[in-house]
Amino acid sequence: GLVRKPAAFISTISDERGSELMYSGVKISEVFDSQMGIGGVISLLWFKRRLPDVYTKFIEMAIMLCADHGPAVSGALNTIVTARAGKDLVSSLVSGLLTIGDRFGGALDGAARMFTSGLDRGLTARELVDEARRNGVLLPGIGHKIKSVSNPDYRVQVVKEYVLKNFKTHPTLDYALAVERVTTQKKDTLILNVDGCIAVCFVDLLRESSAFTREEADDYIKMGGLNAIFVLARSIGFIGHFLDQKRLRAPLYRHPADDFMLEMTEPPRIQVDGRR
């Protein structure tokens, strides 16, 4: 009989071989007929399931709110400088994306782990904050350069209000808000930031909805994919900044020399025998 050649790759999210393209087993015509939107497409391709509207709307909301935050943030600035150096769309986009990490936009995974770890170990908010300080680590998802208690981040308020109103239970968000009450006692800017808020709400989506088993939810938290929300969202803004610079015919950028403090000392002369 026929012997099937062993497959080099296994792939489980899309199939284009039949008459209709399928996302996780759902025909593309059904994707459109059901009006699942981009949140529904993300739930099929990222999580291989149809999430209820309340969650696909949450995903869409997070993407809309994180799409851009002005030209001054690390990633947008990189994209702008790269576009002005005459580079193409993909180069400018990735130069922006490469700034996303623990400090800028990429704190979701760390926040999800940190807050679930505190919650699961039964630590009070104060104990989690003290533990982080003892370990010399900053709490991912806490702190902002310009937003503060007195200058609140509208994005965080929108996400928070939506989840408090529409998710049946939200223990991780509640816990993160308790942590925020502790950190903002120290400094006004140590708020639950947009990364942190989306991350803990995502943990509540994964853990508290019946769409995932607890094991699946905790696997996603460990896997390190939650930053994808920010990466996808901010790509929209970075592309906007690329087009903006090209439209403006912005010339090559050179930073003003007087904005650098140049400090140089002559290096020690090292002799052949290694003596200085």
Q: Applying CB under 6 A, which residues contact ligand ACO?
A: 102-105, 107, 138-145, 183, 187, 189-190, 193-196
Q: Could you tell which of ligand LMR, ligand ACO, none binds residue 181, using a CB distance below 5 to 8 A set by kind? A: none
Sequence-ordered list of residues with C-beta below 8 angstroms from that of 226, at least 6 positions apart, any chain: 108, 109, 112, 198, 199, 202, 220
For the CB of residue 267, give the shortest distance to ligand LMR in the complex, in Å: 37
Using CA atoms of 28, 33, 37, 40 in order, give the dihedral in degrees to the nearest 10: -60
Helices 227-247 and 194-208: angle between axes, nearest 10 degrees: 140
For the CB of residue 274, give the shortest distance to ligand ACO in the complex, in Å: 40
Q: Could you tell which of ligand ACO, ligand LMR, none binds residue 204, using a CB distance below 5 to 8 A set by kind? A: none
Name residue 101's beta-bridge partners: 105
Q: E strands within 47-200?
A: none
Q: Could you tell which of ligand ACO, ligand LMR, none binds residue 103, using a CB distance below 5 to 8 A set by kind? A: ligand ACO
Q: How far apart are CA 142 and CA 189, in angstroms?
A: 9
Q: E strands within the chain?
A: 14-15, 22-23, 26-27
Complex with ligand LMR: residue 73 or 89, whichever CB lies closer:
73
Select from 73, 85, 89, 158 the one that contacts ligand LMR (CB under 6 A).
73
Q: How far apart are CA 72 and CA 28, in angstroms?
A: 39
DSSP label at 5? P
Complex with ligand ACO: residue 27 or 103, whichever CB lies closer:
103
For the CB of residue 236, give the shortest distance to ligand LMR in the complex, in Å: 12
For the CB of residue 218, give the shortest distance to ligand ACO in the complex, in Å: 22
Q: How far apart are CA 245 and CA 227, in angstroms?
A: 27
Complex with ligand ACO: residue 82 or 183, whichever CB lies closer:
183
| Residues 166 to 185 in contact with ligand LMR, rule: CB under 6 A | none
Q: How far is CA 69 from the centre of its chain?
A: 13
Binding mask 192-231 for ligand LMR (x = CB under 6 A): --x-------------------------------------
Complex with ligand LMR: residue 129 or 156, whichever CB lies closer:
156
Decide if residue 145 touches ligand LMR (CB under 6 A): yes
